[in-house]
Amino acid sequence: MAEETTRPPAARVGITLLDIAKEAGVHPSTVSRALDPSQAHRVREATRTQIRGVADRLGYRPHLVARGLQTGRTATIAFVAADLSNPFVTPIIHGLTGAIQNDGMMPVIAETQDDHDTFAAILDHMLSRRVDGMVVAAARLGDREILESAARIVPLVLAGRPLEGSSLPQVVHDDRLGGELAAAHLASLGHRRVAQLHGPADVANFPRRAAGFSQHASGNGMVEIASPGMANNPTAAEGERLMEDLLATGMEPPTGVFAHNDLMALGARSALGARGVRVPDDVSLVGYNNLPLVGRLTPPLTTILYPSLEVGRAAGELIIELLGGEMVKTHDLEPELIARGSTRPLTADG
């Protein structure tokens, strides 16, 4: 005994396939087919255009959550950064977004703040959201297990920060070569006494840069002044601190300094300026990343190009390949020296 239909419990918020089906006098599944580009050919043309007309008129909008529950895919890629305030991550997000947006996919963003437990919680949460894939730019050495465990469940790509001793798919950048380029550049300018400002050791980029630099330096007769410790974070404040410590040792200062990233280089510049040491007259300074603005500093900063935008794009493409079951062809993006005004030839009196 059919009663009058009662209003559904949840406030009706949108048009559903059922609404269209009723209006068009067909079955919901027919509407589903007519509206799905890959199935539309199974529906007679007349029915199809009629259905589409009704859908447009009613302002139908597919319910991606419902579809996701059915299909198991959410058209969503997790992007996990350590610190969103680092200007180095923005271009990665930018590249990633561009690479996946065309496929209707979008990144969901979270930030670990370089805390392991937060990281673990975020990975877990992303899995609960059933993201289709993850791009991780937050890896530190201690995070390997949680990352590999997540990667067993969903395609996961490392970008921006590599991970020592892991075989996870990643967008590879040759940090070691970057370090070599920095040393080679200083060597070519005649510098002999050099020093590095080290980024944190558990972020794999930095030890690699350090190794490349040291190897080239020692192989070319340069003297590398032992560094006064290591940055806790790769920030300007830490670069400033390290540079101060170096100057405070009282030993003869280096004529060439390689800071492991641009932010640290900026901090170092401040420390040098405060001591009356001029760049590049007294000290040549090399950074890493080529952040958007460093070319406009006075003097403009010599740096190693890190192709962030391309890294983000490559990560997106990699994820999409992985989703399509394709072979993972690991992308490989080379560093490049950008010589600018913060380095100059060592003169006789320098």
Contact residues toward DNA (CB under 7 A) are 8-10, 12-14, 16-18, 25-30, 32-33, 35-36, 39, 41-44, 46-48, 60, 62-63, 66-67, 69-71
Measured from the CB atom, is 20 or 194 closer to a second copy?
A: 20
Q: How far apart are CB 158 and a second copy at their closest, in Å?
A: 20
Specify the residue, 48 or 161, whose C-beta has the smaller distance to DNA.
48
Cα 349 to the center of its chain, rounded Å: 43
Give the one entry of DNA, a second copy, none that residue 161 binds, where binding means its C-beta sits below a cut-off of 5 to 8 angstroms depending on kind. none
| Beta carbon nearer to DNA, 39 or 85 | 39
Instruction: Name which of DNA, a second copy, none residue 32 binds, using a CB cut-off of 5 to 8 Å depending on partner kind.
Output: DNA
Q: State the sign of the Cα–Cα–Cα–Cα dihedral 338, 282, 189, 265.
A: negative
Choose between 73 and 193: whose C-beta lies nearer to a second copy. 73
Residue 33 touches which of DNA, a second copy, none (Cβ within 5-8 Å per kind)? DNA
**Taking the complex as a whole, how short is the minimal distance between the CB of residue 146 and DNA, in angstroms?**
21
Chosen from DNA, a second copy, none, partner binding at 338 (C-beta under 5 to 8 Å by type): none
| DSSP classification of residue 62 | -
Place of tokens 């673990």: 120
Closest distance of CB 236 from a second copy, Å: 8
Shortest distance (Å) from residue 27 CB to a second copy: 21
Question: What does the binding site for a second copy look like in residue numbers (CB under 8 A)?
Answer: 10, 13, 61-66, 68-69, 72, 74-76, 79, 84-85, 87, 89-91, 93-94, 97-98, 101, 104, 106-111, 124-125, 127-130, 153, 236, 266, 269-270, 291-294, 296-299, 309
Return the closest-CA partner of residue 342 out of 314, 306, 301. Answer: 301
Structure tokens at 1: 């005994």
Nearer CB in complex with DNA: 9/276: 9
**Least Cβ distance, residue 25 to DNA (angstroms):** 7
Question: How is residue 43 written in tokens?
Answer: 């529906």
| CB of residue 200 to DNA, shortest distance in Å | 38
Distance of closest approach, residue 96 Cβ to DNA, in angstroms: 25
Strands 332-333 and 76-81: what pairing? Answer: unpaired
Closest-CA residue to 169 (of 324, 333, 319, 335): 319
Q: Residues 130, 74: contact at Cβ < 8 Å?
A: yes
23-40: burial string, b at 16+ Cβ within 10 Å, e else = bbebeeebbbbbbeeeee
Nearer to a second copy by Cβ, of 153 and 223: the residue is 153
251 touches which of a second copy, DNA, none (CB within 5 to 8 A by kind)? none
334 binds, among DNA, a second copy, none (CB under 5 to 8 A by kind): none
Measured between alpha carbons, how far is 82 from 136 in angstroms, rounded to an integer? 9
In this structure, what token pair is assigned to residue 96?
A: 């990633």
- Return the number of the residue (113 or 215) whose C-beta is nearest a second copy: 113
C-alpha 113/C-alpha 15 separation (Å) is 41
Q: 110 or 247: whose CB is closer to a second copy?
A: 110
* Shortest spacing between CB 65 and a second copy, in angstroms: 5
- The partner in contact with residue 166, picked from DNA, a second copy, none with C-beta cut-offs of 5 to 8 angstroms by kind, is none
Residue 91 contact partner, candidates DNA, a second copy, none, CB within 5 to 8 A by sort of partner: a second copy
Alpha helices (runs of H) in the chain, residue ranges in sequence order = 17-24, 28-35, 45-58, 64-71, 90-101, 116-128, 144-151, 175-188, 205-219, 236-248, 262-274, 308-323
What are φ and ψ of residue 287, in 5° steps?
Answer: -110, -160
| Long-range pairs for 273-280: beta carbons < 8 A, 24 or more residues apart | 274/244, 275/247, 277/247, 277/253, 279/342, 280/341, 280/342, 280/343, 280/344
Cα distances (Å, whole numbers) of residue 149 to 154, 168, 267? 9, 11, 37
